[in-house]
Chain A
Amino acid sequence: MLKAEPLPLLATGIGKKAVVAITGLVLYGFVFVHALGNLQVFLGREAIKAYRESLHSFPKALWGARAVLLVCLLTHVTLTIDIAAKARAARTTRYKVSAPIAEQGILQRYARKTMVLSGPILLVYIMFHLAHLTAGVVPGLPFKAGEVYDNLVRGFQNPMVAGLYIVANLLLGLHLYHGGVALFQTLGLRHPQWDAHTRHAAFLVTAVVTATNVIIPTTIAAGLIRQ
């Protein structure tokens, strides 16, 4: 007789995916607010500096938020690596011919296929981004603490840096688009009446985040914003 003992939620793929979805949602909220905040670079040096200072005037809240984000990111990454490793063990052989099987739009197909790829690349990008604009420790890129505007403009005047940000944020776009739809499925929050709205909302939020994050380095690299 089979012993049908239930497993703790976090020992099941569904439970792990739920945590991936919730931590992903927190990070989603962050990138959205972060992107909108960064738009203030177009209002000029003083506006974005004032924004930075208002955030830094609540150090407890700032560090609290940073801690939450860090925990979410680490959890998200650790669990997805664990899930991907299990999936590899579950499917060790590939088929001779790789068929598309499902008829899916190019965006959807590409986004779902690149999840495991866009994730780790994002992680490298996030580390570079923090080293560049938060800590200011990237060799060759001058940095002055508190001078957000100058740091941004000087950084993106380097086409390599701008290019890296643009590519990474396009990948983030794919990741967010797939993730934004997937998380509703993962958490079981689906209904035929909402499905279209969910997809549109994920697309819209992703488009806003991606467009903002691509436009900022592009305009600076093109010399439209100067010091």
Chain B
Amino acid sequence: MAETIDLKLHVWRQKGPSDPGKFEDYSQYAKGISTHASFLEFLDVVNERLVLANQEPIVFDHDCREGICGMCGIVINGEPHGPQKATTTCQLHMRTFRNGEELWVEPWRAAAFPVIRDLSVDRSAFDRIIQAGGYITARAGAAPDANAIPIPKRLADEAMDAATCIGCGACVAACPNASASLFMAAKIGHLNTLPQGQAERDKRTLAMVAQHEREGFGACSNHYLCEAACPKEISVQWIARMNRDLLKAAMTYKPEPQRAGGDG
């Protein structure tokens, strides 16, 4: 395999949320790219060359560069995080691409994720969904003994599967309805599966679903592209569980009475 490749590179450039934006052809800056570079390192190289040519570098989000923070997120040829399954953009390597391949690089597309600049989008809608979920009732004070709360191994494993969600937003980017169902289902599901999450279970489910609605994400229509795009391979089974939890909560939940507390 060639150690370096040349690419036909088109990158989405957009000055700000209200700028219409357009693709720019950067093929001249995408030659001689090491196949060992990650996709973000490739963009770093292109940016260095852009700066040398007195042009604005491409803005993109990144942080850990080891697939755990969820900051990176770029659509490459129509696929969130690029063509490799279960891989974040930062963990995607240039050897995935052929010499001379044409790449169209653009941001997540969703009304609820407005573009801040170029490839960087505002994902604070996710933070607000989490925030709407509120607290869990847990005993404060000294650290509890490990295993003080018995949790069957199966449930612990399942909750962990949901908790691997890094909140990158690839599910929204992949969904034809720009629905955040998979994200929301993972976040609701991992707490609803554990004993620690039971006290506020119904309230949390109702509140997070309501916030998802208010943020303007679409509804799930069972295309399942989210599951395929998810770098953590979170299953759409979680969406079915969330649906069940929501339907149950909507039919049985009674708000806490707003009475003053005792004298203590």
- Contact present for B243 and A14 (CB under 8 Å): yes
- The residue among B111, B203, B240, B242 with the most chain A CB atoms within 10 A of its own CB is B240
6 A-B residue pairs with CB within 8 Å: A7-B206, A9-B251, A14-B247, A18-B243, A91-B111, A91-B175
Evaluate contact between B179 and A87: CB separation under 8 angstroms.
Answer: yes
Q: Is B10 an interface residue (CB 8 A)?
A: yes
Partner of A101, one of B128, B203, B213, B229: B229
Q: Which residues of the partner chain B approach A186 to less than 8 Å between Cβ atoms?
A: 220, 222, 243
Question: A4-B131, A87-B176, A91-B176 known; 4 other A-B pairs, CB under 8 Å?
Answer: A9-B247, A83-B221, A87-B219, A112-B224
Which B residues contact A (CB, under 8 angstroms)?
A: 10, 23, 75, 77-80, 83, 104, 106, 109-112, 128, 131-134, 174-179, 203, 206-207, 209-213, 216-225, 227-229, 236-237, 239-247, 250-251, 253
- Which residues of the partner chain B approach A96 to less than 8 Å between Cβ atoms? 10, 23, 77-78, 104, 106
If the complex has contacts A87-B219, A91-B175, A185-B239, are A97 and B112 also in contact, measured as CB distance less than 8 A? no
Interface hits, A16-57 → B, CB 8 Å: 16-18
A51 to chain B, nearest CB (A): 36
Chain-B contact segment, one of A64-72, A161-169, A188-196: A188-196
User: Known interface pairs A2-B132, A87-B179. Does A12 touch B209 (Cβ–Cβ under 8 Å)?
Assistant: yes
Number of A-B contacts (CB under 8 A): 162
Whether B222 contacts A93 by the Cβ 8 Å rule is: no
**Interface residues in chain A, defined as those with a beta carbon under 8 Å from any beta carbon in chain B:** 2, 4-7, 9, 11-18, 83, 86-87, 89-99, 101-104, 112-113, 115, 178, 181-182, 184-190, 192
